[in-house]
């Protein structure tokens, strides 16, 4: 614990994901890290989400001592010239490496549970809140919803309410979805849920990923989803 927080909570901390846009120039990333550290944040990981045209999008996963407000992260990061904070949200994901390879290996060893493993593993890979595998028309298994939509698999934190019409199915390519579209459930909109989807082996079947509270899905993240879903579809040979 640091200084004034030494007597609070006996080491209790909260984890946050902070996404920043920063100039892609030497020293800027280090300056942001230093600013976050001065604000009391313990940096657990840094992930480059996207880079191009002189701008980088980076995700920091940090811990703050109990009692520190997440707004301090915004103030600290934006104290560095040219830095803008896209979003700050609580983070409860697992920090590990080679997540995609581990997930593909698990699916290859248990193909009968492949879609369930995919839905459960993707949120940890792309730092999202939940994911659902859905299919238009009659699914091979799963729960049949309204308007011919079948839920084939869900992550543990996925919304349980039946899905209504999904006008974007069938889906030819991975894409960011309009989070304010009429088909989006009211609760998802109230939580500021950002959405992305990618086909899994066929246009009628898709992986839907939700990120309550943001940040928005970047092109590089959508491409990552598409690549992973494509590999899984080949592994499942379906």
Q: What is the structure's pLDDT at 97? A: 47
Domain range summary for the chain, segments of one domain joined by +? 3-90, 99-236
Q: What is the structure's pLDDT at 49? A: 87
Each residue's pLDDT tens digit, 92-140: 765 554 678 888 889 999 999 999 999 999 998 888 999 999 999 754 5
* Spatial distance between the Cα atoms of 10 and 6, rounded to a whole number of angstroms: 7
Say which residue, 204 or 238, is predicted with more confidence: 204
CATH homologous superfamily for the domain 3-90: ACT domain (3.30.70.260)
User: Containing H/E element for 222?
Assistant: helix 219-236
* Spatial distance between the Cα atoms of 195 and 176, rounded to a whole number of angstroms: 6
Q: What is the structure's pLDDT at 150? A: 93
Question: CB burial class (10 A; 0-12, 13-18, 19+) of residue 102?
Answer: middle
pTM of structure = 0.74
**pLDDT at 3 > cutoff 60:** no
**pLDDT at 144 > cutoff 80:** no
Highest averaged pLDDT of the listed ranges 22-36, 137-151, 168-182: 168-182
Each residue's pLDDT tens digit, 158-190: 998 888 889 999 999 999 999 999 999 999 999
**pLDDT at 207 > cutoff 90:** yes
Q: What is the structure's pLDDT at 1? A: 31
Q: What is the structure's pLDDT at 26? A: 86
Q: Which long-range contacts (CB under 8 A, 24 or more apart) does 189-195 make?
A: 193/129
Q: What is the residue whose two structure tokens read 């992973």?
A: 228
Quickly name the fold that domain 99-236 has.
Beta-Lactamase (3.30.450)
């Amino acid at each position: 614990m640091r200084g004034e927080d030494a007597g609070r909570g006996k080491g209790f901390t909260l984890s946050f994901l902070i996404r920043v846009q920063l100039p892609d120039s030497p020293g800027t990333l280090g300056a942001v890290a230093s600013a976050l550290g001065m604000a009391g944040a313990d940096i657990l990981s840094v992930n480059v989400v996207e880079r191009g045209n002189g701008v980088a999008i980076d995700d920091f996963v940090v811990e703050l001592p109990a009692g520190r407000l997440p707004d301090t992260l915004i103030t600290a990061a934006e104290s560095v010239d040219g830095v803008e904070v896209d979003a700050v949200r609580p983070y409860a994901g697992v920090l590990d490496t080679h997540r995609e390879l581990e997930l593909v290996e698990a699916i290859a060893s248990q193909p009968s549970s492949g879609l369930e493993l995919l839905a459960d593993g993707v949120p940890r890979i792309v730092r999202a809140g939940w994911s659902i595998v859905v299919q238009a028309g009659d699914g091979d298994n799963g729960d049949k919803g309204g308007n011919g939509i079948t839920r084939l698999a869900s992550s543990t934190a996925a919304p349980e309410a039946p899905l209504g019409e999904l006008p974007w199915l069938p889906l030819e390519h991975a894409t960011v979805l309009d989070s304010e579209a009429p088909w989006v459930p009211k609760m998802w909109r109230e939580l500021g849920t950002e959405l992305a989807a990618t086909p899994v082996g066929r246009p009628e079947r898709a992986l839907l990923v939700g990120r309550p509270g943001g940040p928005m899905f970047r092109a590089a993240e959508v491409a990552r989803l598409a690549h992973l879903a494509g590999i899984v579809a080949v592994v499942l040979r379906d």
